[in-house]
Structure 1
Amino acid sequence: MRGQRPLSPQSNQQQSEKMKLAQTAIKKRTSKPNFFTTYRTHVIISIIIGIIIIVVLSFTKQIKEYIIINQSEINSHNSQGYPYTLGPNNFFHNVTLMQAKTLFKNDFTQQINVEKCKVPINFEIPTYFNFKESYPNCSHTIFNQGNCSSSYSIAVSSAFSDRVCKLNQTQQLSAQNLLSCDGKLNQGCTGGHITRSAEYIIKHGLTTNECHPFRGDDNFQECTKALEKCQRFKANSFCQLQNKDDIKRDIINRGPVVAIMQVYKDFLVYRDGVYQVLEGTPRFHGGHAIKIIGWGEQNGYQYWIIENTWGTSWGTEGLAKLAMDGFIDLSLQALSIIY
C-alpha cells in the first residue's frame, strides 16, 4: 500500500494564505462597530440640543412666572447706595415680566426724515425748570395706562394738552380720543408711533378729556360720536429736537415734549432719585413713550424730569428723574408738537 504523498511547499503556502483570509473575514464580522460608535456624533449633537431646549424652556417658564415686585431685590438695591431707590407700586402688583413686555410696543416714527426744530436761542437756560411748578393750573391728571400699550397716545395728548393750557386753555385734552380714533395710523392698545399721533392731531384735533374720558381701551365704536359733539384742538405742526439745549429751550418756550425711551427691569419699580441703568440690568424690547416736563441737577447728576403713564403709585407721584448722560440720549428722540 502506498502512503499519502506529502504536501508540496507551494501547497502549504496556499493553505496558510487561505487560513489567514478566513481569520480576517471572521475578525471583520466580529468587529462590526456598535450603534454608538457609528452614530456617536449624532447622539452627542442630539444630547446637546436636548439640553439647550430644556434650558430655554426652563428660562421661559421663569420669565413667565417671575413677579416684577420682589421685595428682597428692592431691599438689596436700596442698601447699596445707588443714586436712585426702588419701591413697590400698584401698577406692577402681581405682574410678571412676560405680562409687562406687552406694554412696550411704542416707537418714535416710521418716517425716514422728520423735520428738525428751529428753536430760539436768545435766552438763558436755567439750571432747574419744572413745567408743573411754573404752570400749576396746567398740572393735569397723571394717567394709568393699564394693560394697554398706549403710552404713545397718553404722552402725546398730555404734552399737547400742556401746550394748549400754557396759552390759557386749562382743560385737559383726551388721550382716549387718540387711542380710539387713530386706528388708521396707530394700533390702539397694541402700540403706536408718536409722530403718527401728532399727524392725527394736526388733521383731526383732540377733544377734551371731559368729553371723551380715558378708559384705557381701544373701543373704536365711540370715536365718531366723540368727534361730532366735542370741541377739538388742532396742532399746527411737529418737529424733532436735536440736542439737550434745544429740548430745554423748547420746553420753556412752548411746553413739555414727548420722547421714546428703552425700559430696563428695575425701572418698573423706580421710586426716587436720579435713575441710571446699572451694568447687566435686563432690557425690554420695544419702546415706551414719556413726557419730559423739565430738568435739574442732584448730587452731580444732571437729569430730565419725566411724567410717566403708570399712575401716581409709581415713582414720585408718577414722576421720575432720568440721568441725561449714560443709558439713553433723549435729545435724539424728542418730539415737539406745535400748537
Structure 2
Amino acid sequence: MTRQEFEGILNRLVQQLTEEAREEAFTKADQFENRVREVAKALVTDPDIEIDMDPPAQAFPDVAVGEFGIEVKFTTQDTWRSVANSILETNRVQEVKHVYLVFGKMGGTPQVKWNEYEKCVMHVRTSHVPRFEVEIGTDKPLFQQMGVTYDEFRNSEMHEKMEHIRGYARSRLKKGERLWWLEDTDGEEHSLPIQARLYTKLDINEKTRLRAEAVLLCPRIVESGRSRDKYDDVVLFLLTYHGVLCHQARDLFSAGSVANPKNDDNGGIYIERAIKLIEPEIQEAALRMDAALFEEYWGRPVPPEQRIEEWLRLADGYARDWVPSEVLFLDR
C-alpha cells in the first residue's frame, strides 16, 4: 500500500465517522477508538494487511495498518488539541513506519479529521514523563521548531531527545523562569522530592551542601547588595531542583550566622566571608554536579575540573567593590 492509497482510506474513514458523529455523537474515547479500528478494517482491502482488533492497551500507535499507523485522539470539547503519547514511545509498534493522527472532536459541531502525526505535534508537556501535545491544524509543528524531523527525533537516544526538548523549553521561558527538569546524559537522573521542605528546618550538613551548590551555580550573589534580584536564581534552584523553600535567600550568605559564626567583629565583606567558609564544599560540588545544571544556569556546559575557574571569571564580572579571584579559592 502506498502513502497515497492509505491517505485515500483516511479520507473515507473521517468522512464516514463525521457523518456518524453528527447523527449521534460519540461519548467515550474507547468507543471512538474501537469504531476507528472497525471502519479502518472494513476499508482496507489488501489481503496481506491484518488489523489487530484487540491490541495491547498501551501500544503506539493505536491502530497498526501494515507499515502505516493511526494514533486516535478524542474529546468532547470544542478543540482540536490534546495530550498525546510519551516522547519515549516505549510501546511503539515496530512495523509502523508512518504515523497519522485521527482526531474526533465532539464539542461544537462534531467532526473527525486526520493529518500526519509529525505535523500535529505542537508542544511537549514536561511532567513526570514528557509527553507530546497534538493539535489538528497547528501552524507551529514542534519538530519544525526544534530543527529535527520526527523520525530523527524518535530514533535518537534519550539524552539526545532531552537536549532537543530542553532547547525548546528554554526558548519559551520568560524572564526569571528556570527549567525544573534537567535530566542530562546517560546514567544520571534526578528526581524532585515529593515533599516540599523549608530550608530553615534542614540539618546543618544539608544546609551547607545546598549553599555550596547555590553559590556555584549562581555567581550573581557577589553583586552589590542593592541588586534587587541577585538571589532569584538561588531561590529557583533550591525550589525546582531540591524541593526546598527558602523564605530569605539573603540570609544564606549575608547573615552573621553563616558569614561570621565566630562573631569576631572583624568586618569585611560578608558574602566573601560566607563563601570562603565553604570553599571545600563548593569545590566538591563542582566535581559532582550534573552538567545540565551548568548549561542551564551559566549558558554552556563546563567540564568539572574547569568549573571553579569559570565561576571566578563570572564572579569577577559581577562584583563591584572587590575581586573574587584575588581572595577566593587561592589553593586551586
Q: Aligning the two structures, in what range does the TM-score lie when normalised by the shorter sequence?
A: under 0.3
Q: More helix by proportion, 1 or 2? A: 2
Could you tell me the TM-score, scaled by structure 1's length? 0.21
Q: Work out which of the two has the higher radius of gyration on C-alpha atoms and give 1 or 2.
A: 1
Could you tell me the TM-score, scaled by structure 2's length? 0.22
